[in-house]
Amino acid sequence: MLNKIKITSFLKVFISVFILVGCGSNEQEENIELHPIEDRIPYADHPVQKHLIEKNITGNSSGMVEIIISGEYLLSQPTFTQKLDISQSRLMELPFMSDQLMLFESVDENRIIIFDVMRQVLFEYQIDSDSWLELAGSGPGPGELSFANDIVFENDTLYVASQDSRITLFSCNDFPCEYSHVVNLDSNVQPVSIIANTDRFIVMGNKVTSRSENTSDININSMFEFDRSGSLIHSWGEIYDTKGHWMLLEPFSRGKTLARENSSGLVHFFEYFPFIYHYDEERQLDRIIQVDDFDMVQQEYWPKLSRLRVPEGNFSRIENLVFIDEDYYILSILHRREFPVRGGEDNFRVEFIKDFYLNNFTSEDTFYLGSLNNISEENNIHFTNHHIITKKSDEYHISGFALN
């Protein structure tokens, strides 16, 4: 067996959010920092209530977690069927897509938005008619997408957030959604995720106003509220303390924010920290949820050279969080895990494993639903608030579901 598993395109996407830069001989002359540093993590010393999400494992006598290979099989397990009423799956006839980084958002029970992030192409799929249309392609012009990284549907409108400080709106009153207009955000805020309502945009992102060789003027907040014209109203929320080093900002500021249904409460997370932050209607931090089974990787950083490198090894990231009703959300955690094999200490196999949890926003109720291993381009599961999309070989299968 090879000493290391060949990194597929899927694995490249998984680690692409890290900035990997080759290191020269000058690095030997400088002390290496390991990040993240614990006391720089957002809300590290905050006195707010904290709740631990544990992987409560049941179902076999050994007490070991039962990791399922097939996504279709995982959804039939009692841990899922006791909590979710899942309809029979059907094949989605979709156009060619990159299979590397896909975002899904349900318009309703019959319509799904699909965003191919790698190609910057937006599709809509109608289930009853088994038909799809391309809504937008890659480009800088009106109705085109560039540097987009998040989509959200709210009040018959689809919003696409782009890192070039643009929010692109599509009207979805009828099938298919149609391009409406673009809102340009002021204050140099670069969105990574967005919440939208009738009079506000709430953006999770970062703000860099200047860059020197090593340090920058970096805004200390992670959340920004804009009016519908794109003017900044105020900002709040802590971000990883980079001490002005812009190279540390990208890997430690990526994440997602979501609004609680029929409420002003919201949550957000940073991908590579094991914490989910709950805010109340006054935008005050109400609770911190911590994931127990989470490998937070230490990244090597050379401050004078502004170079960042991720050593090989186990690490985890929060892949997604989806509200499925006013109180409950589904959380998915993706792990890279190395397992030893025969032939020496340097021989190992790499697997990607995804854990699923069902959590309650207002209480401490947490349910471990199960795990899917061999995550790849040909084996994956995605949730929206109305649908479960299962990738199997070259096919996408879709199921509806409801909370039992």
**211: helix, coil or strand?**
strand
168 close to 160: Cβ distance less than 8 angstroms = yes
Q: What stretch of H or E contains 9?
A: helix 9-16
Would residue 110 be called left, alpha or beta, if left means φ above 0 and alpha means ψ between -120 and 50 degrees? Answer: alpha
DSSP codes, 95-159: ----SSSEEEEEEETTEEEEEETTTTEEEEEETTTTEEEEEE-BSSSTT-BSSEEEEEEETTEEE
Whether 156 maps to a domain, the answer reads: no
**What's the pTM?**
0.86
Whether 216 maps to a domain, the answer reads: yes
74 close to 372: Cβ distance less than 8 angstroms = yes
Whether residue 36 has a cis bond before it, omega within 30° of 0: yes
Whether 20 maps to a domain, the answer reads: yes
Whether 377 maps to a domain, the answer reads: yes
Whether 106 maps to a domain, the answer reads: no
Domain holding 32, by residue range, is: 9-99+185-403
Q: Is the dihedral of CA 135, 333, 268, 260 positive or negative?
A: positive
Task: Tell me the residue length of the chain.
Answer: 404
> What's the CA gap between 284 and 147, in Å, rounded?
30
Amino acid present at 373: N
> What's the CA gap between 99 and 118, in Å, rounded?
9
Whether 155 maps to a domain, the answer reads: no
Q: How many structural domains compose the chain?
A: 1
266 close to 284: Cβ distance less than 8 angstroms = no
In the chain, what are the helix, strand and coil shares in percent, each to the nearest 5? 10, 50, 45
Whether 197 maps to a domain, the answer reads: yes
Place of tokens 């699923």: 356
Whether 53 maps to a domain, the answer reads: yes
Q: Which residues pair with 400 in a beta bridge?
A: 387
pLDDT tens for the chain, 404 residues long, are: 333 333 344 444 444 444 444 444 454 556 899 999 999 999 998 888 888 888 876 543 333 344 555 667 788 888 788 888 988 888 887 776 666 688 999 999 999 999 999 999 999 999 999 899 999 999 988 899 999 999 999 999 999 999 999 999 999 999 999 999 999 998 789 999 999 988 899 999 988 776 665 566 777 889 999 999 999 999 999 999 999 888 898 889 999 999 876 667 889 999 999 999 999 888 889 899 999 999 998 899 999 888 999 878 899 999 999 999 888 999 999 999 888 887 666 788 888 999 999 998 888 788 898 888 888 777 889 999 999 998 887 788 899 998 88
Place of tokens 């204050």: 187
Q: What stretch of H or E contains 337?
A: strand 328-340
> What's the CA gap between 344 and 217, in Å, rounded?
48
